[in-house]
Structure 1
Amino acid sequence: MKKKIGKQSIAFLKQPVVTSTANIVGPMEGEGYLAEHFDRIMKDNLDGNQSWEQCESSMMEWAISQAVKKDNRQMADIDYVLAGDLLNQLMSTHFALRGLERPFLGLYGACSTLVESLLLGAVLIDGEFGDTVAVAASSHHDASERQYRFPTELGVQRPPIAQWTVTGAGAAVIAAAGNGPRITAATVGKINDLGIKDPNAMGAAMAPAAVDTLWQHIQDTKRQPAYYDMIFTGDLGSIGKTLVLELFKEKGLDIKSNYEDCGCMIYRDEQDAHAGASGCASSAVVFSGYIYRQLLERKWRRVLLIGTGSLHSTTSYQQKESIPCIAHAVALEM
C-alpha cells in the first residue's frame, strides 16, 4: 500500500511508538512554567564543563542515555540515533555521540530538528530498517548567541522582537512496538522565504512556513484542525504565534482554541525573554516533557507537533541574504 498521501505527507502503516522521553534544561528554563516536566535542571549554564559548547554536548548525551534507560533498554539495543543542534557542523551532537557508539545520522533543520528526527525515525521503523531509534535535539543560549549574534559577555541590548534560545536537550526512543503515543502521519515541509532579513525576527520569518505545512497537512490527510486536541508549533514565540492565527483566519479557519506555540510556554513574563523561547530545545523539551506526559495520561489523544526552523547562517546574514525557513509536522495519537 502506498504510504505517501497528497503532495507532502506520509501515512505510517506500522505506526511507530514513542516509548520514552527524557530532557534536561538550564536554570532559567527551570524557573519557567514547565519546571515540573523537566527530568533534570542544571544549576548553571556550564554544569561542570569548560565551555558552553561542551555543556551542550553533555546535555544531549545525558538526554539520549536517560531516554534509553527509562525505556528499560541498553544503548546497544538502539539501531540508529538521529540528532542535531544549532552549532557549526553539528559539533555538539558529534561530540555527544562520540561516546555512545551507535549508528548515527546527523540532521540539521535548525529549530525543526526534533520533529525532523521523529519523522525520519518513524520512516526507518515503518520501512522495517530497524526496530528501535533514538532521536534528540539540543541548543544552548550562550553558545548560540556567540555563533549567530554577539557573545553574551558584550551585553548587547536585545530588541523586543528577539527570542531567548533555550538551554536544554530533549530525546525520545521510537520503537516498532510498545506503550506510548503512535506516530500516525507526518508532513514534510518546504522552504518558505518572504524576504525577512533580521535574524532577531525569527518568529515572523518562520510563521509562514508553519502555516504552509499545517495547511498542506490538512489538504493531504483530510484532517481538519479540530481532529487534533492540540496543535503545537515549535518556537515562533508571541509574534509568530499571532501571525499564524491571523494567516489562518485569512484562509477561513480559526485555530485559536486548540493551538499553542512551545516558545510561549517555557518562560514566565517576568523572566524578560522578550518574544518568547527559541532554539532546537524549545520544542524538544516541551515535547519530551509536558506534551508527552499529557498524551500518556490521555488528557489528549491526538496532537500535531510542527517543528519550525530558521535556516539562516552567520555568513548568509553578513551577505544580506533573506531567511529561508522550514516546518515539518508529525501526528501523535494514543
Structure 2
Amino acid sequence: MHKKRGQQSIVFAVPPVITSTANVVGPMEGDGILTEFYDRILEDNLDNNDSWEQCESCMMEWAIRAAVAKDNSVLTDVDYVLAGDLLNQLMSTHFALRNIGRPFLGMYGACSTLAESMLVGSTLLDGGFANKVVASVSSHHDTAERQYRFPTELGVQRPLVSQWTVTGAGAVVISAVGKGPRITAATVGKIVDIGLKDPNAMGPAMAPAAADTLWSHFNDTGRPPDYYDMIYTGDLGSVGKALVIELFKEKGIDLSTNYEDCGCMIFKEEQDAHAGASGCASSAIVFTGYIYRLLMRQKLHKILLVGTGSLHSTTSYQQKESIPCIAHAVAVEI
C-alpha cells in the first residue's frame, strides 16, 4: 500500500497507538492553567541538581521512565528512543539517555521536536521496524536563556512580543498494538523563512511555517480543517496564533473555531509570560497531559498537533541571518 499522500504527507496503513504519556514541569508551569494535568511539579528550577542543565536532563529521564512504567512495560521493551531538546548538540538529551540504555536517535526541530519524533517513530512502527518507541523532549527556561539570550541573573527586560521558555519534559510511548489514540497521518514540514531577524519575535517568524504545513496537510490528505475537533500548534503564542488565523482568513477559511496554540494554554495572564509559552516542552506538556487525557476520555476524538520550530542559533543571530522556521504535523484519533 502506497502510504505517501501528496507532496509532504503520510497516511499510516496500520496507525500506531499512543499507549501512555508522562510529563514533569517546573514551579511556574505548575502554578499555571493546566496544573491538574501534570504528573510531577518541581519545587524549584534546580530540583537538587548542581545546574539548570542537569535539572533538564533529569526531567527528561524521569518522563521517559514514568511513561514506560505507565505502559506496564520495562525499558528493554522499547526498541528506540527518539528525543531532543533546545541546547547545543542536544546536550540535555544525551546526558538523560546515558542511564536509559536503549537504542537512541537524536532529533532536532527546535520546538517542533516532539511532533517530529512522533512522526518518525510512527513511521518506524508502521513500517514494521519496531514494536515500541518513545518520543521525548525537554526544555528549561534558564538553560535556554543562558544559551540563546542573556544570563537570567542579568534581569534583562523582555519585549512584549517575547515568550517564556517552558521548564518541563514530556514522553510519549507509541506502540504497534494496544489501546489508546492512534496516529493516523502526518505531514513533514518545509523550511519557511520570511526574513525576520528578531529572536524575541519567534511567534511571528514561525506562523507562516505553521500555516504552510497546515495547508499542505489539508490538501495532501483531503481532510478539511473541520475534520478535526481541535487543531493545536506548538508554541506560536498569542501573536503567532493570531497571524495563523489571519493567514487562513486570506484563503477564505475561518480557523478560529477549532484552533488553539499550546503556548497560550500554559501560563495565566498574571504570570507575565508576555506573548505566551515556548520551548520544546510547550507542546509536550500540553499534549502529554491535557490533550491526551481528553482523547482518552473521548471528549476529543480527532486532533491535529502541529509542532513549530524556530531554527536560529546564537551563531546565525550574531551573523545577522534571518530565522528559518519549520512545522511538522501529526494527526491523532480515537
TM value normalised by structure 2: 1.00
Q: Does 1:190 align with 2:167?
A: no
Counterpart Cα distance in 2 of 1:44 and 1:316: 32
Structure 1 residue 87: Cα displacement: 0.4
For residue 331 of structure 1, what is the amino acid of its counterpart?
A: A
The alignment partner of 2:185 has SS state of strand
For residue 201 of structure 2, what is the amino acid of its counterpart?
A: A
Matches within 5 A, 1:192-207: 192-207=192-207
For residue 181 of structure 1, what is the amino acid of its counterpart?
A: P
Could you say which residue in structure 1 is the equivalent of 2:9?
Answer: 9
Counterpart Cα distance in 1 of 2:275 and 2:135: 28
Q: Does 1:311 align with 2:279?
A: no
Counterpart Cα distance in 1 of 2:252 and 2:10: 25
Could you say which residue in structure 2 is the equivalent of 1:22?
Answer: 22
Counterpart Cα distance in 2 of 1:217 and 1:180: 23
Counterpart Cα distance in 1 of 2:307 and 2:237: 13
For residue 177 of structure 1, what is the amino acid of its counterpart?
A: V
For residue 25 of structure 1, what is the amino acid of its counterpart?
A: V
Structure 1 outlier segments of 4+, above 6 Å: none
Could you say which residue in structure 1 is the equivalent of 2:321?
Answer: 321
Could you say which residue in structure 1 is the equivalent of 2:58?
Answer: 58
Structure 1 residue 316: Cα displacement: 0.1
The alignment partner of 1:136 has SS state of strand
Counterpart Cα distance in 2 of 1:179 and 1:61: 24
For residue 198 of structure 1, what is the amino acid of its counterpart?
A: D
Could you say which residue in structure 2 is the equivalent of 1:31?
Answer: 31
Counterpart Cα distance in 2 of 1:11 and 1:245: 26
For residue 124 of structure 1, what is the amino acid of its counterpart?
A: L
Counterpart Cα distance in 2 of 1:287 and 1:151: 29
The alignment partner of 1:330 has SS state of strand
Deviations 1:111-159 (A, max 9, x none): 0000000000000000000100011010000000000000000110000
For residue 280 of structure 2, what is the amino acid of its counterpart?
A: C
Structure 1 residue 239: Cα displacement: 0.1
Q: Which runs of 5+ in 2 are unaligned?
A: none
Could you say which residue in structure 1 is the equivalent of 2:91?
Answer: 91
RMSD value over aligned CA atoms? 0.3
Could you say which residue in structure 2 is the equivalent of 1:247?
Answer: 247
The alignment partner of 1:105 has SS state of strand
Structure 1 residue 68: Cα displacement: 0.1
Structure 1 residue 11: Cα displacement: 0.5
Counterpart Cα distance in 1 of 2:105 and 2:238: 33
Counterpart Cα distance in 2 of 1:48 and 1:165: 21
Structure 1 residue 90: Cα displacement: 0.1
Could you say which residue in structure 1 is the equivalent of 2:229?
Answer: 229
For residue 237 of structure 1, what is the amino acid of its counterpart?
A: G
Q: Which runs of 5+ in 1 are unaligned?
A: none
The alignment partner of 1:13 has SS state of coil
Could you say which residue in structure 1 is the equivalent of 2:73?
Answer: 73
Could you say which residue in structure 1 is the equivalent of 2:258?
Answer: 258
Structure 1 residue 242: Cα displacement: 0.3
Counterpart Cα distance in 1 of 2:46 and 2:179: 35
Counterpart Cα distance in 1 of 2:181 and 2:196: 37
Deviations 1:216-272 (A, max 9, x none): 000000000000000000000000000000000001100111000000000000000
Could you say which residue in structure 2 is the equivalent of 1:136?
Answer: 136
Counterpart Cα distance in 2 of 1:316 and 1:180: 42
Counterpart Cα distance in 2 of 1:3 and 1:17: 17
TM value normalised by structure 1: 1.00
Deviations 1:73-120 (A, max 9, x none): 000000000000000100100000000100000000000000000000
Counterpart Cα distance in 2 of 1:17 and 1:178: 6
Counterpart Cα distance in 2 of 1:310 and 1:255: 22
Could you say which residue in structure 2 is the equivalent of 1:158?
Answer: 158
